[in-house]
Amino acid sequence: MSANEIDKMRESAKKLMADVFEAFRARRSVSAEIGKRKRSINAPIEDYIQERMLIESFNVDGGNAGRLFSMLIQDSLEAQGARTLDAMYDDVEIEGISALRSYGLTDEEGLKNFVMLRVPGAEKMDVGFVQGRRAAIISWVLEFGYGKPANIIEPFGKSIDSAFWIIGSRPYRHRSIDEAIKFKGGTVIMKIPNIFGRQISHDELAKIGEAMELAPTLIDITYSEINRNGRISTMYEVSGNSVMVYGLPGTVGYPWETAAIIGDKGTVRRTLMRFYSIWGMMAKEFPMPSIDIYPALKMLEERAEELSRISKGKISLPDYGPFAIIEGSVAELPVWARPVNGSNYGSYNGISVINLLK
């Protein structure tokens, strides 16, 4: 092929690109008009059914095609008035809390044994460690769901949605595992247990296996050793088709929270390699936790009692984790209490969450 022939092909490719950008800008203009019409009739901006039809119509199956689809949807939503990259949420106030560990486990082998004893099926799987659950989730999605829809089962902090948009995975929010399964395609992401006491019920736990068979599935276990009625007893068994990002007790707050990535050897290896390539962090050293957890236990007990006295039936204390749930509003709260609006975790209007150890 001559240089002249290559130049002609480049001109053809350039014209095609020009057509793409012209259509892109024209579509934005139409989307903005659609947004005006939706607001006039008080209709929601997001339309999952329409997007699902478009995915099937254009045979979008992840990769760069999926990322292009995600970008077009993002641009359309923003033209209609949505703020898809707005990450200014208060959910960080209760994200990343794992309480304190009394075992004094500071080496990787000790932490690995800790996980294998507490997660069903982990003794047959591979285990790796990173710093920060949120960073681990993003690394996993890039490796196994690049350009694919991220089906998030609420509750899950909305601040992570912007990260999914940026890495080319359109985030979809569902209120049950059934909804996520029916959506089809992409990845499934869920948090267990649910401190809000809704969704992912004990009945739905049996459906996790079905989700694993249909799509790459990530289960983010929020584990706290400091709780009112013992350790969490209900966990789904790890399989090779999924990965559990397990928040280990021992540290407080991102980015110093230790996350265990659990799954078959290939899944763990690829997730760790992706994590290291993105974040440049090797999980060779782990933060030293406090050996004496008495002060934290005392604080938890005192604050729980204080909230119980002023609750008037509006404040509940879940059986697991150092959290309090407020239904409605409470006239006066202690100065240490920093309630986080439940809407930052999904469709939870009228509910607030307080971390008793912050």
Q: How far apart are CA 170 and CA 172, in angstroms?
A: 7
How many domains does the chain divide into?
3
**Across 318-345, average pLDDT:** 82
Residue 57 sits in a domain whose CATH number is 1.20.59
Which residue, of 239, 254, 279, is where some domain finishes?
279
Q: Is the pLDDT of residue 305 over 70?
A: yes
User: Token pair of 80, please?
Assistant: 């209609």
Residue 357's pLDDT is: 76
Same domain, 105 and 160: yes
User: Token pair of 65, please?
Assistant: 């095609």
Percent of the chain predicted with pLDDT > 90: 28
In a domain, 286, yes or no: no
Which residue, of 55, 79, 103, is where some domain finishes?
79
Residue 73's pLDDT is: 96
In a domain, 247, yes or no: yes
123-164 pLDDT, tens digit per residue, is: 889 998 887 788 889 999 999 999 999 999 988 888 889 889
Average pLDDT, the chain: 82
34-62 pLDDT, tens digit per residue, is: 999 999 999 999 999 999 999 999 999 88
Residue 154 sits in a domain whose CATH number is 3.40.640.10
Same domain, 75 and 94: no
Same domain, 226 and 127: yes
Segments forming the whole domain that contains residue 33: 3-79
Cα 284 to the chain's mean position, in Å? Answer: 25
Dihedral (Cα; 238, 97, 195, 235), 10-degree rounding: 20
Same domain, 351 and 327: yes
Which residue, of 244, 279, 314, is where some domain finishes?
279
Q: How far apart are CA 294 and CA 309, in angstroms?
A: 23
199-231 pLDDT, tens digit per residue, is: 566 677 778 888 888 889 998 886 665 555 544
Percent of the chain predicted with pLDDT > 70: 81
Same domain, 44 and 146: no
Of 65-69, 182-186, 205-209, 211-215, give the range with the top mean pLDDT: 65-69
Q: Is the pLDDT of residue 254 over 50?
A: no
Same domain, 335 and 236: no
Same domain, 51 and 102: no
Residue 110's pLDDT is: 78
Same domain, 216 and 350: no
Q: How far apart are CA 340 and CA 325, in angstroms?
A: 10
Q: Helix 63-79 crosses helix 48-57 at what angle (to 10 degrees)?
A: 140
Same domain, 113 and 226: yes
